[in-house]
Amino acid sequence: MKSEEPATPNIRLTVNGETRALRVQPHWTLSRVLRREFGLTGAKEACGEGACGACTVLVDGVATPSCMILAVEQEGKSIVTIEGLSKNGVLHPIQEAWLEEYGAQCGFCSPGMIMSALGLLAKNPDPDEEQIKEALGGNLCICSNYEHIIAAVKSAARKMAKEASHG
CATH number at residue 36: 3.10.20.30
Q: What's the rounded Cα separation, in Å, for the pair 144 and 104? A: 10
Q: What is the DSSP string of 60-98?
A: TTEEEEGGGSBGGGGTTSEEE-GGGT-BTTBPPHHHHHH
75 lies in the same domain as 47:
yes
Question: Do residue 79 and residue 98 come from a single domain?
Answer: no
| Distance of alpha carbon 126 from alpha carbon 136, whole angstroms | 15
Q: What is the pLDDT of residues 115-156, one digit of tens each?
A: 999 999 999 999 999 999 999 999 999 999 999 999 999 999
Identify whether the C-beta of residue 84 lies closer than 8 Å to the C-beta of residue 145: no
Question: pLDDT averaged over the chain?
Answer: 94
Give the CATH number of the domain where residue 128 resides: 1.10.150.120
**How far is it, in rounded angstroms, from Cα 43 to Cα 9?**
23
* pLDDT tens track for 17-74: 999 999 999 999 999 999 999 999 999 999 999 999 999 999 999 999 999 999 999 9
This prediction has a pTM of 0.92
Report if residue 5 sits inside a domain: no
Regarding whether 78 and 103 lie in a shared domain, the answer is no
Q: Are residues 24 and 48 in the same domain?
A: yes
Among residues 18, 52, 84, the one where a domain terminates is 84
Say if strands 78-80 and 56-59 run parallel, antiparallel, or are unpaired. antiparallel
Domain final position from 84, 114, 133: 84
